[in-house]
Amino acid sequence: MSVYFITGIDTDIGKTYATGLAARFFRQRGASVITQKITQTGTAGAIADDILLHRRLMGIEPLPEDLDGTTCPYLFRFPASPHLSSELENAQIDPKYITDCTARLLEKFDIVLLEGAGGINVPICRDYLISDYVQEHRYPTIVATSGRLGSINHTLLTLEAAASRNIPVVGLVFNHYPLPDPVIRDDTLGIFRHKIAGALVEMPEIDLGSIPNIDFTPIFGA
């Protein structure tokens, strides 16, 4: 049984697409897999928007675990860092409850792909970061990044932050959307391939009307 954590170098960097497409990859190999979201802000529905996108990318309907909140135990309306969004609703995020939800999912599924919120040092609570949570659980981590200007700095800082906490980064997902300058893109890809020793998957712009099958074996193995 395995849990993989998916983070990013920023918000809106492609974590949700990377998570859903990785789950699609596992499903096509016959693996028992589900996705989970640590918390979602900026949503008003009964099911987290990102979870719904995961299911669409996986090619399945929402699951009972989505309907009962197990796959995203904390939903908040205000689009901000989880610590602030929860405070505005007079709520408190309990990291242990997130872990309990993951444990319940592992009773039924062999693989849980756990998507974070924003970057790795986003606060879950005032004095507790996502990196604190991932460090405690030693989850192997995948970082979503891109070729846009600034991504080299943000990516290397994320890798450095993970290394300082002994968080194992097992690969990068390089998001090609929006299309970056090709000169910057190619140079950035070269730097990332060197830093991550080849464990890199490229993710093209995704058309939800024709979802591609992306090979994640550079990260997860054959």
Rg (CA), the chain: 16
The active-site residue out of 15, 37, 96, 195 is: 37
Give the chain's residues under pLDDT 50: none
Q: CA-to-CA distance for 7 and 14, rounded, in angstroms?
A: 9
Closest CA to 155 of 129, 187, 183: 187
Q: What is the pLDDT of residue 197?
A: 72
**Which residue do the tokens 């929402």 mark?**
62
Closest CA to 75 of 116, 105, 108, 38: 38
Domains, in order of start, for the chain:
2-215 (3.40.50.300)
Q: What is the pLDDT of residue 81?
A: 97
How, if at all, do strands 169-175 and 200-203 pair?
parallel
Question: What does pTM read for this prediction?
Answer: 0.96
The DSSP call for residue 30 is: T
Q: What is the pLDDT of residue 125?
A: 96
* pLDDT tens-place string over residues 40-58: 999 988 999 999 999 999 9
Q: CA-to-CA distance for 103 and 109, rounded, in angstroms?
A: 10
Q: What is the pLDDT of residue 158?
A: 97
User: Is 108 part of the annotated catalytic residue set?
Assistant: no
